[in-house]
Each structure stands twice: as C-alpha cells, then as structure tokens.
C-alpha cells in the first residue's frame, strides 16, 4: 500500500507541473518518448517474447495472444500513433463558450485537464503507450495498470516512455506503472478517492463490471463489443460478404469485430450460401433455424455449422465464431440490437436511404455504420492517433476517446470591480 501511496503523490505533483506546460513543451516531450521507443525497440520486443511464450504455455487462445503480440510492424504503428497525437491540437486551454452578463462580467468556459487518471486494462501492451501519450497531451498524469500477461512488455514500454519524456525536456513522473502484478493494486486504485481523479477500465466484461461496481472514484466506462451487422433486403451481395468477412476475420479478438449477423429474410437465401462459402474453414457459424435453412443442404467443405441458442445472441466471442439470425424487418433487427447489443458499434448494409436513416436513429450505440465494417471504431482510424478506449456510456465521452476525453471545464469570470447587490 505504501508503494502506491507514494506513486499517487508523485503523480499529483507531476500533474500540477504538467498543467502549466505549453503545447510545444508537451509535444517535444512526446517526441522524445516516440524516439526512445524506437531506440529501445529490441528490448521491448524481447520483453514481449517472454509474455507471449508464457501466455501460450498457459493455454491462452490465439485470438487473445494476437492482442498481446508485438512485432516491428506494431512497434512502428505505436510510434506512428504517438506522432499523430503530437500533431493533434492541444485540448487544454480551449475557449468552449463565452458571454457577457448584463452587469458587464465576462464569463468564459475553458477546457482544463481532468487531473490524475488511472487506466486498468488487459493484454494489449500498445494501450500503455496510447494511454500515456493521450493523457500527457491532455495535461494529465496517468497510472497504468495492465494485466499480468503483459507485465514484461509494459515495464519495457513504460521505461522507454519515461526516459523519452525526460530526454524531450518533459516530466517523466507524469507516467507511472503499477507493476507488482498483485490484484490488490486494482482495489487500491479504485479506492483512491482524492488522489486519482478518474479511472478507465479497458477490457472484458468481468474487468469492467469489477471497476464499475467497486470504484469510489469517477469512472469513464468502456464497454465490451457485442457488435452486429444487419443486411437489409436491398443490399449488394458481394459487397455485403466483403464487409462481413472483414468485420469478423480481420481481427476477431478486437472489441469492434462483428459477433452477430442479422439478415433480412428476403435476402437470406441469396446471401447466406455465398457467405458460407467465403467463411468455410475459417469461421464457425451458429445459426437460427431460418438461417440454417437458407444455407441449404449443400454445406461447403470445411464449414462448421451449429444451431444457435439464446446465449449466442448475448456473447462477445472474440473468436472465429459468428452468430446468424434471419429477421423479418428493419424494426426486428433494431429491437434485437437494442436488446442484446452493448452500445458499441452497429452497422446496416443497405441501398435504401430511409432505412439507413431509421437504423441510425433507432439503434442505441456509440458508433453506427452505414455500408461499412464495424472494424473502423478505433481512435487511430478516427484520426486521434490512439485511444484511451471506446466509451459506451452517455456522459461527456462516448465512442473512441482521444485527449479531449481527459479534459473538463473551468469557468473564468472577468470583471471591472463588480459586486453582487
């Protein structure tokens, strides 16, 4: 406990200094961090090998090992993301609104850092850099608490970030890693009222639920991704198959991968045999009776086909599994999504403008797509360079969260000697 107490104090002291930094100072420090990650690349990759080997020996499924894995291409992506964060506008000090009262007082609403943040996350070591970079840009210090499966990787990355911040003239104490591997750390962070200003959970259902239910500090809640694609009756078949394949296969362990396909009954017998052939040998389909019938008696070689039950509509597989249901209408699809979805990312494939508008208006989700893969729900794809996570709540931050998610407002009131009567 004493160890984290000292970390909390150090983060608070660092944040007070960081809040006074100019954009140029913050960007130069982040540039130093990006350069140091590149310089320490081999050390980082060697540390990651240890984590991956341990994960595989422990029986972790390959779709989740892929989330843990680093290689040269992914290190390049991490650095590129950090460089994009540097190019973003400074979210701090923005004049959001302003007005003059009848008594002459000027009221201005200014964006300021939230303060000391903590992020509790699973597996993905890239989150270590994403979160540190975005927090620093927002003028926040941050406590990183990754999972034990990525401990070696996170230690190497955090050391490089801190060394790089220092080399760029920044404040390395603004980034800290809780690295004991003990679950007690999570409880201590969640109880750090007055020392941590906000905590972000990023991971699966159990982690998010634990944070939300036990936190005594404010939470920006990210959500699991039970994502859907609805294929409307007039959708273009080949294009639909391409989009569904991408949303399921390109990275099945991601929270924005599609988990349930809803198909209008008028197009089911045309679409589903094509999709079955495309996914045969790669994806297991769990179908309701109507969808199974639409595929027909000639099942493509290698296709794993099972009957769906209620639990399949509720499941975020994070694997090469796709639930399939035939629906009678757009309204039925929207009702299904609003019942089973997690308010993350939902898509409609259609050539009907009105149906697209009705779907977007009716579905309750942070991101709603028309004729595109759900895989684009990502801070990098949205132009943020990185993300703190994908918020599925409805407060100030929703969807992929860039640096502005770690800001709040302050009112600045300027007068000429006014007193209240």
Condensed to tens digits (0 to 9), the pLDDT of residues 12-51 reads 999 999 999 999 999 999 999 999 999 999 999 999 999 9
DSSP letter for each residue of 392-410: -SSSS--EE--GGGGEEEE
Express each pLDDT in 114-157 by its tens digit. Answer: 999 999 998 889 999 999 999 999 999 999 999 999 999 999 99
H or E segment and range at residue 413: strand 407-414
Q: How far apart are CA 14 and CA 9, in angstroms?
A: 9
Computed over every residue of the chain, the mean pLDDT equals: 94
Q: Helix, strand, or coil here: 367?
A: strand
CATH code 3.40.605.10 region(s) in the chain: 2-222+389-414
CA distances (Å), 285 to each of 182, 255, 304, 321, in order?
Answer: 39, 19, 6, 6
Beta bridge partners of 145: 120
- Give the integer Cα–Cα distance in Å for 419 and 319: 64
d(CA 226, CA 202): 15
Given a cut of 80, is residue 338 above it in pLDDT?
yes
Q: pLDDT for 182-231, tens place per residue?
A: 888 999 999 999 999 999 998 878 888 899 999 999 999 887 899 999 99
Pairing mode of beta strands 106-113, 95-100: antiparallel
Could you read off the pLDDT of 346-384 as tens digits, one per residue? 999 999 999 999 999 999 999 999 999 999 999 889 988
Query: Mapped to the 3 state alphabet, what secondary structure does 255-301 carry?
Result: CCCEEEEEEEHHHHHHHHHHHHHHHCCCCEEEECHHHHHHHCCCCCC
Residue 2 confidence (pLDDT): 45
For residue 421, what are the contacts with CB-CB under 8 A and spacing of at least 6? none
When comparing pLDDT for 124 and 232, which is higher? 232
Q: What is the dihedral of CA 399, 401, 402, 405, to 10 degrees?
A: 110
2-222+389-414 CATH:
3.40.605.10
* Dist. CA 421–CA 416, nearest whole Å: 15
Looking at the chain, the domain(s) classified CATH 3.40.309.10 span 227-376
Give the rounded percent of residues in the chain with a pLDDT score beyond 70: 100
Residue 308's pLDDT is 96
User: Which of the residue ranges 172-176, 290-294, 400-404 would you say has the lowest mean pLDDT?
Assistant: 400-404
Q: How confident is the model at residue 3 (pLDDT cuts 50, 70, 90)?
A: confident
Answer whether residue 1 shows pLDDT above 60. no
Tell me whether residue 58 is exposed, middle or buried, using C-beta atoms within 10 angstroms of its C-beta: 0 to 12, 13 to 18, 19 or more.
exposed
CATH number of the domain located at residue range(s) 227-376 in this protein: 3.40.309.10
Measuring CA to CA, how many Å separate 25 from each of 40, 79, 139, 241? 23, 19, 11, 48
């Amino acid at each position: 406990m004493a160890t984290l107490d000292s970390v909390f104090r150090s983060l608070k002291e660092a944040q007070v200094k960081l809040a006074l930094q100019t954009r140029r100072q913050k960007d130069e420090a982040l540039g130093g961090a990006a350069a140091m990650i590149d310089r320490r690349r081999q050390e980082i990759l060697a540390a990651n090998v240890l984590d991956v080997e341990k994960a595989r020996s422990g029986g972790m499924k390959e779709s989740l090992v892929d989330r843990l894995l680093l290689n040269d291409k992914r290190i390049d992506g991490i650095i590129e993301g950090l460089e994009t964060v540097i190019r973003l506008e400074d979210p701090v000090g923005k004049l959001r609104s302003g007005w003059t009262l009848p008594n002459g007082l000027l009221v201005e609403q200014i964006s300021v850092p939230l303060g000391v943040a903590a992020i509790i996350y699973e597996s993905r070591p890239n989150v270590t850099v994403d979160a540190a970079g975005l927090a620093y840009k927002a003028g926040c210090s941050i406590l990183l608490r990754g999972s034990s499966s990525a401990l070696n990787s996170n230690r190497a990355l955090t050391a490089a970030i801190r060394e790089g911040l220092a080399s760029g003239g920044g404040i390395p104490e603004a980034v800290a890693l809780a690295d004991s591997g003990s679950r007690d750390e999570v409880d201590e962070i969640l109880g750090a009222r007055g020392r941590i200003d906000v905590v972000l959970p990023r991971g699966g259902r159990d982690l998010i639920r634990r944070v939300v239910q036990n936190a005594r500090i404010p939470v920006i809640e990210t959500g699991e991704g039970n994502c859907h694609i609805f294929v409307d009756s007039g959708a273009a078949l080949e294009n639909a198959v391409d989009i569904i394949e991408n949303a399921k296969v390109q990275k099945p362990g991601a929270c924005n991968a599609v988990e349930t396909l809803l198909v209008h009954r008028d197009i089911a017998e045309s679409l589903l045999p094509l999709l079955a052939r495309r996914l045969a040998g790669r994806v297991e389909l769990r179908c309701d009776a109507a969808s199974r019938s639409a595929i027909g008696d000639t099942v493509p070689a290698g296709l794993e086909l099972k009957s769906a039950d209620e639990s399949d509509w509720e499941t975020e597989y994070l694997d090469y599994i796709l639930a399939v249901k035939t629906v009678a209408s757009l309204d039925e699809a929207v009702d299904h999504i609003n019942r089973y979805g997690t308010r993350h990312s939902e898509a409609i494939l259609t050539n009907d403008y009105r149906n697209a508008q009705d779907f977007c208006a009716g579905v309750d989700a942070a991101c709603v797509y028309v004729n595109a893969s759900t895989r684009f729900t990502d801070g990098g794809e949205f132009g943020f360079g990185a993300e703190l996570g994908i918020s599925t709540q409805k407060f100030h931050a929703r969807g992929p969260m860039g640096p502005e998610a770690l800001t709040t407002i302050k009112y600045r009131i300027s007068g000429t000697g006014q007193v209240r009567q």
